[in-house]
Amino acid sequence: MGQRPSPVEGVVSVRLQAPDPAFWKGRRVLLTGHTGFKGSWMAWWLHRMGAKLHGLALAPATQPALFDALGLGRFLVHQVADVRDPTAVAEAVRRSEPQVVLHLAAQALVRPGYEDPLGTFSTNVMGTATVLNALRQAPEVKVALVVTTDKVYRNREWVYPYRETDALGGHDPYSASKAASELVVDCWRASWLQAQGLAVASARAGNVIGGGDWSRDRLLPDAMRAWAAGQALEVRRPAATRPWQHVLEPVGAYLRLAEALWHGKVQPGAFNFGPAPQEAATVREVIEQARQAWGSGDVVWGDGQQGPHEAGWLALEVAKARFELGVEPRWGLVQAVQRTMAWYRGHANGTSAEALCDADLEAFAAGAPEDLP
């Protein structure tokens, strides 16, 4: 398939200003983690805007995987490697000569972090250090963005949303390793990268939903699999509250942040991305919306005591992104869940991943009202 025009070109957003296709067209970008769920959406959006993409990641971790469904290997330099491998990362930087580096590669799930804490810390901490260290020998790089998580904050289970200046921490291995990776970002920026003119920022986003995620231990993928098989979904912690958002919200925000860093419009540092704090929702609310969108589905509600510790309440203060970047949430919870479940149903009925992703991109960039394809 040949290059097609960006579905967002020429569209002016009502609230979130969409990434600028003119900026990304022809831009040399190194994207780590491009075979993952969020990385695949980012790669597809960048491809549609004409970026020159080099991806470094492990092979897709799920079957099916959005990377395969989109055939992304046709549209970028696809390098299968571990971000903890200094030689492989240095080679990727040398080959791609990137102007922008987007580091998404990670062990990104809480429960697998308990199963493999050393691997989680190694990937999330040393992987980040390895990528940033390789950039010390890459004077052509002007912007590097490291994606972490909303779970980097020391969670006090209080009613206040967390700001970028709040203390970092983490009860579980995943959260603690991501908090530690934020310290890596600060260290490399202050010690080397800032002096060579490289703007380095971290992005902390809330719980992400959207079509094309087939990971285990993710709420809506688990629901879709259970209901498609005629089984009941088991929900461990129905009262857990999170800042849910459609995947295009943070991906679009990451790209806008990279543009702003390039133009010197914001200072390098940490940025929260998510819904307004009062829009954080419980797992029960999300599942009820998903069941309505799916049309049916049985649920077995747990009492919140099953499994290892997970945060009960978490919300982000996103004022910094709103005032410094002009980024505000585009889709509320209802539309985000509806579009996610519609994506899965459409794919199961034979609609291509390309068509489904493009429909979401077009609706998101155009500020479409709450309707479905």
Average pLDDT rounded to a whole number, residues 198-227 = 94
* Residue 168 located in a structural domain: yes
Is the pLDDT at 163 greater than 50? The verdict is yes
| CATH code assigned at 77 | 3.40.50.720
pTM: predicted TM-score of the whole model, two decimal places: 0.92
Answer yes or no: are the C-beta atoms of 99 and 199 closer than 8 Å: no
Q: Which amino acid belongs to residue 24? A: W
When pLDDT is averaged across residues 60-69 and rounded to a whole number, the result is 96
Instruction: State how far the Cα of 182 lies from the Cα of 173, in Å rounded to an integer.
Output: 14
Total domains in the chain come to: 1
Residue 1 lies in a domain: no
Average pLDDT (305-326) is 81
The residue segments making up the domain with residue 166 are 26-366
**Mean pLDDT in the chain?**
91
The answer to whether residue 120 scores a pLDDT higher than 80 is yes
In a domain, 21, yes or no: no
Confidence of residue 5 (pLDDT cuts 50, 70, 90): very low
Nearest-angstrom CA–CA distance, 366 and 126: 39
Half-sphere exposure of 212 (CA within 13 A, CB side): 31
Q: Which residues of 288-298 are buried (b: 16+ CB within 10 A; e: fewer)?
A: bbbbebbeebe
In this structure, is residue 321 part of a structural domain?
Answer: yes
Report the pLDDT value the prediction gives residue 181, as an integer from 0 to 100. Answer: 98
For the stretch 244-280, pLDDT in tens is 999 999 999 999 999 999 999 999 999 999 998 888 8
Confidence tier at 210 by pLDDT (50, 70, 90): very high
Whether residue 116 lies inside any domain: the answer is yes
The residue length of the chain stands at 373
Residues 203-208, mean pLDDT to the nearest whole number: 92
238 domain residue, yes or no? yes
Burial of 306 (0-12, 13-18, 19+ CB in 10 A): exposed
Does residue 20 lie in a domain region? no
Lowest pLDDT segment from 6-20, 172-186, 219-233, 306-320: 6-20
With pLDDT > 70 as the criterion, what percentage of the chain qualifies? 91
Is the pLDDT higher at 307 or at 146? 146
